[in-house]
Structure 1
Amino acid sequence: WMDHEISSSQLDQNQVGWDWVSIHFNDGRELMFYRLRLRDGSSDPASSLTWVDAKGRTQKSDFKWEVVETWKSPATGAIYPIRVRLTTTDPSTGKPLALSLEPLAKNQELTGNLGGIPYWEGACRVLDADGRELGHAYMELTGYAKDLKL
């Protein structure tokens, strides 16, 4: 995935941040997910999940985002949802697929010591409901420490 972020100033007044995940599966498929988070904690309708098969074909899918574990930063006091369950439909089977995203380390917060906005960004394992490792991911969690309006 190429991630090119210009700014956070285009968030709607009711949007407080986003959760973004890029997953690389062991079978060659990929998944890109982003959730624009509203003030009440729900997902903005513009949020999206896209599968990419081994040949590069894309397919959108519905999703459910569930927080399994949070982590409180000792540096900023922000509480991040570092372990989540992302449930979607596997396009290769048409069946529901529950993915557990587990961080390789809890403290992957970038604190913005030079005046930036703190956020959590780091590597995760991707497990199925039986605990089998399906691949690896990179997850970004923003807007948990302070307002993203720059």
Structure 2
Amino acid sequence: IIIEGAYPKNISLDERIQGVSKNLLRTIFFKTKISLIQEEADENMMGFVRYIDTDILKEFNKEKPKNIKEISLFIKKYLFIEDNKIEGLNSEEKYKLLYFLHKYKRKVYNSTVRVKNNIYSSSLLKDKEGSVVDIFYNEFSIERVDVYMKDIFIDKAKIIK
């Protein structure tokens, strides 16, 4: 992943990944301005993967992970933009990144929305009671979801435990 500023510019995909058509790559580029390049893994890329593999083994050899979430959070630091870097993006760049998240349409009830058997709450959703909103969900960070209405950011709703 080549990041320019806080925003990805190029993401390299292994050519052995099935189901990635040139049309899909073009669509992603036009929606996000991020180039996804399918190429044979070179030695630098394989070295990076081996580095991550070694780092994971070192980290979890000391103490076994308690759950999959702990492993996901550790790996996420290599693969995803950190939240503090996202805050530096303008709203157009943030919205482009949403293309990579799962999008759901949900109706607001009691200042909450339900996604993947989790309930998310936000005080700003109270004004949207009964309305349908767009929820952007990241499987690797289920603690909160981004709530939009007509392409306008409303709030980050937090999971209710």
TM-score, normalised to structure 2's length?
0.24
Could you say which structure has the larger radius of gyration?
Answer: 2
TM-score, normalised to structure 1's length?
0.26
In terms of fraction of residues, the more helix-rich structure is: 2
In terms of fraction of residues, the more strand-rich structure is: 1
